[in-house]
Structure 1
């Protein structure tokens, strides 16, 4: 998680003019860090990555996620199910780690692309 937050802080310090990212799309490469930006422009990803960081730092769950967890717990209690809590913790932790690693790569790729854009503007 520290790596992700560090990559986002670096991205925030580097990207001084986020509006330059509007309408800019990442070229498709074989590199896994840039291959899955989809059809969103880099400004949308910049905003999304910052929002996720704020959520992580504030320890806040999105409203729909917290409702889902409450409902799941109530259903498990009603059905008399006992969950392997330690197993569930490790399962979700591994998933979170994979997602954060993926998002860290995206933040680093976005920062690199922004530096390329600034370099092209400075050369003109």
Structure 2
């Protein structure tokens, strides 16, 4: 299943003690930024799937949902989640400055795994887009506007 808005709110506000989560968050945000900088024409991702890169993602029930999405939907989802992640990170830093003794963690205990999967997805979108652009540059495929 997928997280709704309420699920994401809970995810960003749930306390945990896993020290690797900020690193996973940084990797995820970095991968999405690279994806955003690479993908100049998101519309090229419409109708394109990642069936050839299924091994990129761990097997779980959410992959059933993701197999029905195209890369454009992944692209917009990843950008949206990144915005929330960055906002939660800013809130966390402000709270840490205000009261270090009452440090409150904004991540779900399973967030590391989710961010790892989302990072792989962002990297896969970037890779597939670069592949599409390479084919366009070699005139192997024509543009669909």
User: What is the TM-score normalised by the length of structure 1?
Assistant: 0.68
In structure 1, runs of 5+ residues without a counterpart are 61-88
In the comparison of the two structures, how many residue pairs are matched? 94
In structure 2, runs of 5+ residues without a counterpart are 1-24, 90-104, 140-145
Counterpart-to-counterpart distance in 1, 2:120 and 2:88 = 22
- After superposition, the CA RMSD in angstroms is 2.1
Counterpart-to-counterpart distance in 1, 2:68 and 2:117 = 17
Counterpart-to-counterpart distance in 2, 1:34 and 1:115 = 23
Contact map agreement 1:33 1:106 (CA 8 A) in 2: yes
Structure 1 stretch displaced more, 93-102 or 41-50: 93-102
Other-structure match for 1:82: none
Question: Structure 1's 110 and 4: CA in aligned 2 closer, same or farther, altered over 3 A?
Answer: same
Question: Structure 1's 32 and 19: CA in aligned 2 closer, same or farther, altered over 3 A?
Answer: same
Question: Structure 1's 34 and 17: CA in aligned 2 closer, same or farther, altered over 3 A?
Answer: farther
2:103 aligned with 1:116: no
Runs of 4+ in 1 over 6 A off after TM superposition: none
Other-structure match for 1:74: none
SS of the residue 1:5 aligns to: helix
SS of the residue 1:50 aligns to: helix
Counterpart-to-counterpart distance in 2, 1:5 and 1:95 = 17
1:33 deviation in Å? 3.1
Of residues 12, 16, 22, the one that matches 2:46 is 22
Counterpart-to-counterpart distance in 2, 1:3 and 1:30 = 21
User: What is the TM-score normalised by the length of structure 2?
Assistant: 0.59
